[in-house]
Amino acid sequence: MSQTTSSNPLAGLHKSKMYTLLLSALTLIGLILPWVTAKAFGFGYSYNGFHGWGYLALLGIAAAVYSCFAGNKTEPYDDMGKKIALGGFGGISLAALITLLRIITSGKGLISPGIGLFISLAGGVLGLLLLLGFVKPPKAIDEKVDKLS
């Protein structure tokens, strides 16, 4: 039994939507990794992005992924789809930034930001910059994305 291209949901996906999906996946990985680490008296504790403001980032990921598959996926973003994706990446960036500021202002040396928080913040900000056209992807990455879609 051969697989047709219609069974692959990513087949024919426009390049800008593919970047949105890749950055959403990166941000989801960031949500799974530790956002906050706390150390006191030789004991350590960490929690991931599925707490507090991390839920806003999760909603942002859902909005960004939805924008990829709403409408015609083979064409670039229309006006509404781009706004949905921008809102999603804005929510991701806002959630990560608020969490980072809360850690910095109330940490008192015992609480520090985790690697997942920085990955999520980077994914959200990169998504905003790519969609707004301030950043262009490098040619090496661009060629690999062409092979995926």
pLDDT recorded at residue 110: 82
Other residues' Cβ atoms within 10 Å of the Cβ of residue 5? 8
pLDDT recorded at residue 61: 96
Distance of CA 28 to the CA centre of its chain: 6
CA distance 9 to 75: 14
Handedness of CA 80, 81, 84, 87 (dihedral sign): negative
pLDDT recorded at residue 145: 74
The domain segmentation of the chain, as residue ranges, is 34-135
CA distance 92 to 113: 16
pLDDT recorded at residue 11: 74
pLDDT recorded at residue 6: 59
DSSP class of residue 37 equals E
pLDDT recorded at residue 43: 85
pLDDT in tens, the chain (149 residues): 454 555 777 777 888 888 899 999 999 999 999 999 888 787 888 889 898 899 999 999 999 999 988 888 888 888 999 999 999 999 999 999 999 999 988 867 788 899 999 999 999 999 999 999 898 888 877 777 777 76
Q: How far is CA 6 from CA 14, 71, 75, in A?
A: 15, 16, 16
Please check whether residue 126 is in contact with residue 49, taking contact to mean a CB–CB distance below 8 angstroms.
no
